[in-house]
Amino acid sequence: MRTAYGVETVRAAERELMARLPEGVLMQRAAAGLAVACGRLMGRVYGRRVVLLVGSGDNGGDALYAGARLARRGAGVTAVLLAPERTHAGGLAALRGAGGTVISGSSSGSSGAEVAIRRADLVVDGIVGIGGRGGLRADALPLAEAVREARVAVVAVDLPSGVDADSGEVNGEALRADLTVTFGTHKPGLLIDPAREYAGTVRLVDIGLGEVLPEPAELEALQHADVARLLPVPGVESDKYRRGVVGIAAGSARYPGAAVLAVAGALRGGAGAVRYVGPAADAVIARFPEVLVSDQGPHKAGRVQAWVVGPGAGEDAATVAEVLGADVPVLIDADGLRLADREAVRRRGAPTLMTPHAGEAAALLGVARAEVEGARLSAVRELAARYGATVLLKGSTTLVADPAGGAVRVNATGTGWLATAGSGDVLSGLGGSLLAAGLTALDAGSVGAYLHGLAGRLASEGAPVGAQDVAEGVGRAWRNVRGV
Ligand SMILES: NC(=O)C1=CN([C@@H]2O[C@H](COP(=O)(O)OP(=O)(O)OC[C@H]3O[C@@H](n4cnc5c(N)ncnc54)[C@H](OP(=O)(O)O)[C@@H]3O)[C@@H](O)[C@H]2O)[C@@H](O)CC1
Ligand SMILES: Nc1ncnc2c1ncn2[C@@H]1O[C@H](COP(=O)(O)OP(=O)(O)O)[C@@H](O)[C@H]1O
Ligand SMILES: [K+]
């Protein structure tokens, strides 16, 4: 499991660890890891030109100490100081001692700095790290512009300057990096868009913080091994009922395809049987003869261990209400989210998993879509709290939050190719099937998102895919995860 911790927790852990270690050890560990990563990115160190952008705090200190290490190995290192009077003194002395050059970022209209940036092989962004608030300040903007124009490689120290470490929000300008070298633990902002996009590749340098970080983390990302452990694999004693039956209440005369796609996902999620109820039974049967269909409504469909309701449901509020009354886990997606009564969701005894995209989440919260996209973590937490349900917020970053709190899960397998009509319907069926197979709502949502993202990647391999291709890719994703 990959985990991420917010600033307050990192600072507390840092204090605890520093109390046991000689002064400056953590910064030296950070700087050593940073210098190695910079060297690797440049291919060689000797003769390379490196520009350090140095802010007023320890983030700048890391950059300076790493710069000193690079200078000792033969790089030409220039530090651009954004706050000369508040620069990390030890770091500055180390860089000077190693033969580095120092210029002020604010003097002479920054032009000296801009010339250095244009000639650089690498820029190290040590403007601000976890001490940052808001976007880049005015004095850093011309430097950021020069970096963009020079198209020079950028390594961010701990975080790209200007992004919010705790939330992944970007309020103003931020500096884009090719590589972010982060210390001790990932920060939520490195895993959540829009900030994640600014970070480029993220490398974690172990500085010993792991042993003092508490449980649970603020954010966690499942890895292959975690998903492999959670996948419902039949044993010798299994039969189709023991594996779980998932009911799909989806589709309408207008949107029969949503039913077919949700069923396609459900057939690949590990349940032993799929029941379908709704007006698209003919279309479902034509494509998937193995599905048990009924047009009698959810109550009369026979027993299921979980329901999926909503994809392509149109205005069928009665079916949504009926499913919400069932005493089994329910996944609510698409139209179902609009039609579900909040109190009915809150009253449910069995688990509920809601799977909105940003537009649907915005409608549920009564805010603009851009607000949800800019602040995904707070949006998903707020929805989970309001509905007393597990919420999976879809999009470029998929997040899953439990109403009881605990670590929010972030999915790292997605690809922009998944942004294709109907791929959300596939995810709803897949997630419902995992619920029926016995996974908790948090696990069903995050394992579903993991397989769905991987299926999209494997099916696409860099070319456009349709939702059916994604569904068909789910089997490959299972095998990939299980290593079979
Ligand atoms: N934690 C750990 O275990 C370890 C941490 N380490 C390192 O320390 C870093 C944290 O250092 P830090 O606390 O000195 O804060 P840092 O990010 O340098 O900011 C400094 C000052 O910048 C200012 N400022 C605020 N916003 C700004 C903005 N948008 N644009 C420009 N300036 C802005 C603000 O001061 P203000 O100007 O508001 O008075 C703020 O106080 C961390 O990221 C990691 O690199 C490692 O060495 C090893 C172990
Ligand atoms: N930029 C992106 N990167 C990764 N995944 C994405 C991106 N955009 C959309 N997705 C994924 O694609 C799926 C789209 O679902 P949804 O918006 O419900 O579409 P539809 O309603 O057409 O089925 C979701 O799983 C979502 O997380
Ligand atoms: K930085």
Task: Please give the C-alpha separations between residue 448 and each of 8, 258, 350, in angstroms, as whole numbers.
Answer: 31, 17, 19
The two tokens of residue 47 are 């003769």
135 Cα nearest atom in ligand 1: 29
Quote the ligand 2 centre to 455 CA distance (angstroms): 13
For a ligand 2 pocket test, name from 394, 411, 468 the mutation site with the most ligand atoms within 8 angstroms of its C-beta. 394
Find out whether 431 is annotated in a ligand binding site.
no
Handedness of CA 106, 111, 113, 117 (dihedral sign): positive
Residues with CB under 5 A from ligand 3 (ion): 125, 129, 156-157, 161
What is d(CA 75, CA 68) in angstroms, rounded to the nearest whole number?
Answer: 9
Q: How far is the CA of 127 from the centre of ligand 1 (A)?
A: 8
* Same-domain pairing of 89 and 207: yes
Whether the Cβ atoms of residue 469 and residue 422 lie closer than 8 Å to each other: no
**C-beta 7 within 6 A of ligand 1:** no
pLDDT, residue 109, reads 53
What DSSP string describes 37-80? HHHHHHS--TT-EEEEEE-SSHHHHHHHHHHHHHHHTT-EEEEE
What is the C-alpha separation between 152 and 95, in angstroms, rounded?
A: 22
CATH of the domain at 386: 3.40.1190.20
Terminal C-alpha separation, the chain: 21
For residue 169, give the amino acid letter: E
Question: Is the Cβ atom of 175 under 6 angstroms away from ligand 1?
Answer: no
> Ligand 1: which of 128, 166, 175, 182 to mutate, most ligand atoms within 8 Å of CB?
128
Looking at the structure, do residues 329 and 345 belong to the same domain, yes or no? yes
81, 57 in Cβ contact below 8 A?
Answer: no
Question: Which value, to the nearest 10 degrees, does the dihedral of the CA atoms of residues 311, 357, 379, 6 take?
Answer: 120
Q: What is d(CA 309, CA 249) in angstroms, rounded to the nearest whole number?
A: 5
60 is in an annotated binding site: yes
Q: Which of residues 221, 251, 280 is at a domain's end?
A: 221
Any atom of ligand 1 within 6 Å of the Cβ of 10: yes
Q: Walk along the chain (484 residues) in steps of 10 and give the mean pLDDT of each run.
A: 97 95 96 98 98 98 98 98 97 98 74 94 98 97 96 98 98 97 98 98 97 96 98 93 96 96 98 97 97 92 96 96 98 98 98 98 98 98 98 98 97 96 98 98 98 98 97 98 96
In terms of domains, do 189 and 243 share one?
no
Position in ligand 2 atom list of the atom nearest CA 467: 23
381 plus 251 within the same structural domain: yes
Q: Is the CB of 137 under 6 A from ligand 1?
A: yes
Residues 94 and 174 in one domain: yes
228 and 345 housed in the same domain: yes
DSSP code at position 162:
T
195, 163 contact by CB (below 8 A): yes
Nearest to residue 417, comparing CAs of 370, 362, 467?
Answer: 467
* Alpha-carbon distance values, 314 to 277, 303, 470 (Å): 14, 25, 24
Residue 270 in tokens: 């590990």
For residue 205, give the DSSP letter: E
Same domain, 211 and 229: no
In angstroms, the CA 446 to CA 219 distance is 12
pLDDT at 196: 97
- What is d(CA 382, CA 44) in angstroms, rounded to the nearest whole number? 48
In this structure, the answer to whether residues 82 and 18 fall within a common structural domain is: yes
> Are residues 321 and 180 located together in one domain of the fold?
no
**Distance of alpha carbon 179 from alpha carbon 157, whole angstroms:** 9
pLDDT given for residue 141 in this prediction: 96
- Same structural domain for residues 308 and 403? yes
Residue ending a domain, choose from 221, 251, 285 = 221
Q: Are 191 and 219 in contact (CB under 8 A)?
A: yes
DSSP per residue over 372-435, as a string?
A: HHH-HHHHHHHHHHHHTSEEEE-SSSEEEE-TT-SPEEEE----GGG-STTHHHHHHHHHHHHH
Task: Please state whether beta strands 390-393 and 398-401 pair in parallel, antiparallel, or not at all (unpaired).
Answer: antiparallel
Closest ligand to the CA of 376: 2
Q: Domains in the chain: how many in total?
A: 2
Residue pair 223/186 in contact by the 8 Å Cβ criterion: no
CATH code for the domain in which residue 146 is found: 3.40.50.10260
**Structure tokens belonging to residue 440:** 């908790």
Question: Would you say 398 and 193 are in contact if contact means Cβ atoms under 8 Å apart?
Answer: no
Query: Rounded distance, CA 152 to CA 208, Å?
Result: 32
Probe residue for ligand 1, chosen from 56, 164, 185, 187 as the CB with the greatest number of ligand atoms within 8 Å: 56
Residues with a CB atom less than 6 Å from ligand 2: 334, 357, 394-396, 398, 414-416, 418-419, 421-425, 427, 452
* pTM metric for this prediction: 0.96
Q: 273 lies in which domain range?
A: 224-482
- Tokens at 348, concatenated: 């449910």
Closest among 203, 95, 83, 89 to 131, alpha carbons compared = 83
